[in-house]
Amino acid sequence: MRPTDVAISNYRSIRQLSIPIHPLSVFVGENGVGKSNLYKSLSLLRDAAAGRITRTIAEEGGLNSVCWSGLRKKGEDGRLRLSAKFDRLRYSIELGFPGPVEAAFSGEPMIKAETIEATQGKRTVRLMERKNSLVSVRGESGAWNSHKDAVLPSETALAGFADGKECPEIDLIRNAMLGWRFYHDFRTDPASPIRKPCLAITTPSLSADGSDLAAALATLYSIREDATDLQDAIEDAFPGAELRAWAENGWCEFDLQLADMPRPFKAYELSDGTLKYICLLAVFMGYRLPPFIALNEPESSLHPSLLAPLARLIAKASRRSDIWIVTHSEQLMEALRSESSVPLRRVIKQKGATTIEGLTIGGEYRDEEPDEDDS
């Protein structure tokens, strides 16, 4: 299942946003407007599917650090709320602080509520409801089955409630979000695992840290036995160059022969920008693309001459996967608009809150709203 929209409330600089997801969504903005928070909030949804969202929030400094810190209306609870919709199904989660009688560490982020709802025509039917540690699911007959203490306050029902027979939609949504991939940056220092051989294991999609880069490339050469598209992309970015990847004695390696060099260079010899671009090639040209890919500032460390080839790479990949990109590069944005006609989505701040120009409260862009004559 591919997501159709996400909603975010009370996350860092995001007061409340509902954002549609298209095959290619690109957000550009200046430093400090909160565009990276769009990326991070989606990553939290995947952490909910993996059962580690409370740990991630604790690692980021706890709820006091990640929740909306601006002015609130009287009586507002300030809970962090996230949701994602997949065609007819929507998953929502709320997090807050422990109550006075709840068993939890002081200040620990706790999951207060989770729901799964299905849209049936004009009706919305709730299929799963979690309040604190009580999980209730609707059976085939329509009756509710309740499970007391089914999960701990730090666990998501999405990950911890394993009875998929009672509510198969839990499995559907969890597996869909576990398939999402997030790429923030790739370490290219001398000790980075990207610069070293990796175990020869068939790798359909690049890991978040890129540590299996050589295996992801070698999978195209040795398992698919067709790296024509990859080589074309190398030619587009580095004219006259040739990339090779192979497996030997249980390890995968790769090298790059540049047109003006007498010998190929292995990963540990490549420049930071060249190595990062090869990582992006593996992201967008893997054996099997994830259904949803999010990248935060992919242009970082790249030479400006690589932005146009990168835009072509992204535009082509968006035919196979939904892609979400956050960038501050106007040059990359213009290249993407040229390659894919993607609309400009500019992230700004209004009264201290992150918002997107042209996005309505209902979660539609004004340039996409139907004309009255078409209704």
49: CB partners within 8 A, 6+ apart: 156, 158, 159, 173, 174, 175, 176, 177, 178
**Whole-angstrom Cα distance, residue 213 to residue 209?**
9
Quote the pLDDT of residue 262: 95
pLDDT higher than threshold 90 for residue 77: no
* Average pLDDT over every residue of 42-50: 96
Rounded to an integer, what distance in angstroms lies between the CA atom of residue 33 and that of residue 218?
A: 40
Q: How confident is the model at residue 221 (pLDDT cuts 50, 70, 90)?
A: very high
How many beta carbons lie within 10 A of that of residue 16, not counting itself? Answer: 14
Residue 375 has pLDDT above 60, yes or no: no
State the pTM of this model.
0.90
List, for residues 299-343, the tens digit of each pLDDT value: 999 999 999 999 999 999 999 999 999 999 999 999 998 898 888
pLDDT one-digit tens code per residue, 83-110: 999 989 999 999 998 877 676 777 789 9
pLDDT, position 75: 66
Per-residue pLDDT averaged across 346-365, rounded? 93
Within 10 Å of residue 369's Cβ, how many Cβ atoms? 13
Mean pLDDT of the chain: 91
Q: What are phi and psi of 38, to 5 degrees?
A: -60, -45
Q: Mean per-residue pLDDT for 49-66?
A: 93
- pLDDT confidence band for 373 (50 / 70 / 90): very low
